[in-house]
Amino acid sequence: MVKEVQVDPQLLTKAVDKALGMGAEYAEARYHRVTGFSFTLMNGFLIGASYMDSTGVAIRTIVNGGLGFASTDSLEENDVLESVSRAFKGARASSTIVKDRIGLSRERLGNAKYEVRQQKPIGSVDDSEIITTIQDIYKSLDMNIGIDVKNVLLGFTYNIEDKIIVTSDGAFIESRIPRVNMFYSITAERGGERANRWNQLGGTGGLELIETLKLKENLEDDLRSLKIYLVEAGTPPRGKMDVVIGPEVVGLAVHESAGHPSEADRVMGREAAQAGLSYRRRMKTGEKIGSEHATVIDDPTIPGSYGFYLYDDEGVPARPRYLIRNGVLDEFLHNRETAYAMNTQSNASARAKEWWAEPIVRMANTYFAPGDYRFEELIEGIKHGIYIKKYMEWNIDDYRWVARYVGLEAYEIKDGRLVRPVKNPALEVNSLEFYSSVDAVGRDLEFQAGTCGKGEPGQGVPVWFGGPHIRLRGVRIL
């Protein structure tokens, strides 16, 4: 079971008791440790390596309806208990001008320990051997593909996240989640024109993920995409047309335009000055946003996923959340604070990046539910359109309404066939148009790893996002 915990859980209980003794309505103590190893290769050469250790204790208290958070990177009793005082003081001071009291929903809380199993455990192989393994993958790539590959920056990270969470209303969760993450950036040139591709792969588990995440295959495929971009791709057609987007683009789109706007704290305005607001302030739950083919789910419990967890950081058991169900806006993502404010139940969306971070509402693994079309069937019904397989640039406004996805590898479709590659087609579409225009959904399902940013200080947390190929009718290409 969970090993190498450096803190006595009794200290966390003591911290919670101290806060209650001071008069807090609620208190929570979280021991949070993330340790790991990473390195970076440039064109196959090791340019540097790094160990990281981020360890500390976070305290949250609610006092007179005000919320206070304090944390320390010391595991000494005095420092932890001093953090309790700081959290209490902050909560009490803010309560003086609080109009709507902050509270937490009543929940069935967990008392559990869990650990993600590793087939090839981190630590079972010398870290220097991992470097060699990744270098061997790099060396096996064929770079003579008709473009000048200027630079390949390739990074590898493993880490192990240990947590113990104790709350004043009875939660006790001890967990260990190991993760592997790899990223790369490829820059290539041909005839004075340059292009680059960035990609990230990640999952929970051990070093077996180096193989299962298919680093080599992804690198090869992205080199091929850059060649297509630099050698073959021409100007895209523009205007309203039918568009097929691949799982990489679909995954990003549902993360940005279904996942983020469904975060209840964003809907309530808690992140208004940072990550922004949500169109779901105006569109109500039960309102139609898409065709019957559009179903978007966020599920923390997918085994092996980068956003995996079984209990959230407030002790609530995780489950799949339906954000859009058959074209209708469904659940928000809730932590206990937003659930209390909206008079409902948490669905276990509270996550904190490390010990220095408050648990806020986050996605885990968000995906567009697959249908039953084969890829050929999706494009055979298109007279003139575009297929966007991969993207580089994207963004969305702070109400999560109008998004832009610019294709890296993309093709023009004529009479149901891919006829030529095209460069930088920009799909700009609002969320209602996007989900309403879906008329066919592929049977495939692929996930991408990402680091989702939110909060102040910024908390980048691991997530997956994915989906099948989908077909959009009559959307705008710029």
Partner 1 sequence: MNVVELVEEIVKIVKDTVPEYVVILEEKTSTMLKMANGQPSVVQSWKEYQVDLYAAKDQKIMASSFRFSKPDEAIQKTVKIIDKLQPSPLYAPLPDPSGKPYSLVDKTLAEMAITGDVTRLIEDLELGELSNSAGAISVSVEKRVLRTSNGADLEGARTHFNGYMRIFADDDSSGQWSWTSTKYDPVQAKKSISTAVNLAEECKKLPRGKIETGKYRVLLSPMVAGNLIESVIRAASGASVIFGMSFFRPDQIGQQLASEKLTIIDRPLMEILPGYSTFDDEGVATRDKPIIEKGVLKTLLHNSKTAKLLKAETTGNAGIIWPTAFNIEVVPGDLNDEEMMEILGNGLYATNNWYTRFQNYPEGLFSTVTRDALIVVKNGKPAGCAARARITGSMLDLIKNVEAVGKTRWPIEWWEVRLPSLLPHLLISEIGITSE
CA distance 424 to 141: 26
Q: Among the candidate windows 23-31, 150-158, 308-316, 412-420, which touches partner 1 by CB under 8 A?
A: 150-158
Q: Among the candidate windows 122-130, 162-170, 217-225, 304-312, which touches partner 1 by CB under 8 A?
A: 122-130
> Residue 65's closest CA among 25, 107, 23?
25
User: Please, which of residues 296-335 interact with partner 1 by CB under 8 A?
Assistant: none
User: Please, which of residues 71-100 interact with partner 1 by CB under 8 A?
Assistant: 71-75, 79, 82-83, 86-87, 89-91, 93-100
Structure tokens at 229: 């971009």
Which of residues 153 and 310 has its CB atom nearest to partner 1 in the complex?
Answer: 153
Instruction: Rule CB under 8 A: say whether 51 interacts with partner 1.
Output: yes
Instruction: Rule CB under 8 A: say whether 66 interacts with partner 1.
Output: yes
Q: Pick from 3, 78, 126, 286: which binds partner 1 (CB under 8 A)? A: 126
Least Cβ distance, residue 44 to partner 1 (angstroms): 10
- In the DSSP assignment, the letter for residue 279 is G
Give burial (CB, 10 Å; 0-12/13-18/19+) of 440: buried
Structure tokens at 315: 């002790």
What is the identity of the amino acid at 405? Y
CA distance 181 to 330: 32
Residue count, binding to partner 1 (CB under 8 A): 92
Owner of token pair 């991992």:
130
Q: Pick from 13, 64, 187, 301: which binds partner 1 (CB under 8 A)? A: 187
Rg (CA), the chain: 24
x-or-dash string of contact with partner 1, 428-447, rule CB under 8 A: x-x-----------------
Structure tokens at 51: 């160990």
Q: Among the candidate windows 44-52, 210-218, 326-334, 344-352, which touches partner 1 by CB under 8 A?
A: 44-52
Q: Among the candidate windows 68-76, 284-292, 311-319, 411-419, which touches partner 1 by CB under 8 A?
A: 68-76
Q: Among the candidate windows 240-248, 322-330, 435-443, 451-459, which touches partner 1 by CB under 8 A?
A: 451-459
Strands 239-245 and 384-396: parallel
User: Please, which of residues 1-20 interact with partner 1 by CB under 8 A?
Assistant: none
> Residue 68's closest CA among 108, 98, 110, 45?
98
Give burial (CB, 10 Å; 0-12/13-18/19+) of 97: exposed
Least Cβ distance, residue 438 to partner 1 (angstroms): 19
Q: Pick from 11, 15, 19, 70: which binds partner 1 (CB under 8 A)? A: 70
Which of residues 299 and 313 has its CB atom nearest to partner 1 in the complex?
Answer: 313
Helices (H), 58-150: 77-95, 127-139
Instruction: Rule CB under 8 A: say whether 183 interacts with partner 1.
Output: no
Q: Among the candidate windows 209-217, 284-292, 375-383, 387-395, which touches partner 1 by CB under 8 A?
A: 387-395
Which of residues 2 and 42 has its CB atom nearest to partner 1 in the complex?
Answer: 42
Which of residues 242 and 358 has its CB atom nearest to partner 1 in the complex?
Answer: 358
User: Please, which of residues 222-261 interact with partner 1 by CB under 8 A?
Assistant: none
Strands 328-329 and 321-325: antiparallel
Instruction: Rule CB under 8 A: say whether 394 interacts with partner 1.
Output: yes
Q: Among the candidate windows 9-17, 38-46, 200-208, 362-370, which touches partner 1 by CB under 8 A?
A: 38-46
x-or-dash string of contact with partner 1, 264-283, rule CB under 8 A: ----xxxxxxx-x----xx-
Q: Assign 283 to helix, strand or coil.
A: coil
CA distance 375 to 378: 5
Are 410 and 233 in contact by the 8 Å Cβ rule? The answer is yes
Are 160 and 5 in contact by the 8 Å Cβ rule? The answer is no
Q: Among the candidate windows 67-75, 110-118, 311-319, 409-417, which touches partner 1 by CB under 8 A?
A: 67-75
Omega of the bond prior to 457 within 30 degrees of 0, cis?
yes
CA distance 2 to 304: 18
Q: Pick from 136, 232, 292, 393: which binds partner 1 (CB under 8 A)? A: 393
SS3 content of the chain, % helix, strand, coil (to 5): 25, 40, 35
Which of residues 277 and 297 has its CB atom nearest to partner 1 in the complex?
Answer: 277
Least Cβ distance, residue 372 to partner 1 (angstroms): 33
Instruction: Rule CB under 8 A: say whether 451 interacts with partner 1.
Output: no
CA distance 183 to 64: 46
Instruction: Rule CB under 8 A: say whether 49 interacts with partner 1.
Output: yes
Are 373 and 440 in contact by the 8 Å Cβ rule? The answer is yes
Least Cβ distance, residue 375 to partner 1 (angstroms): 25
Structure tokens at 12: 């966390």
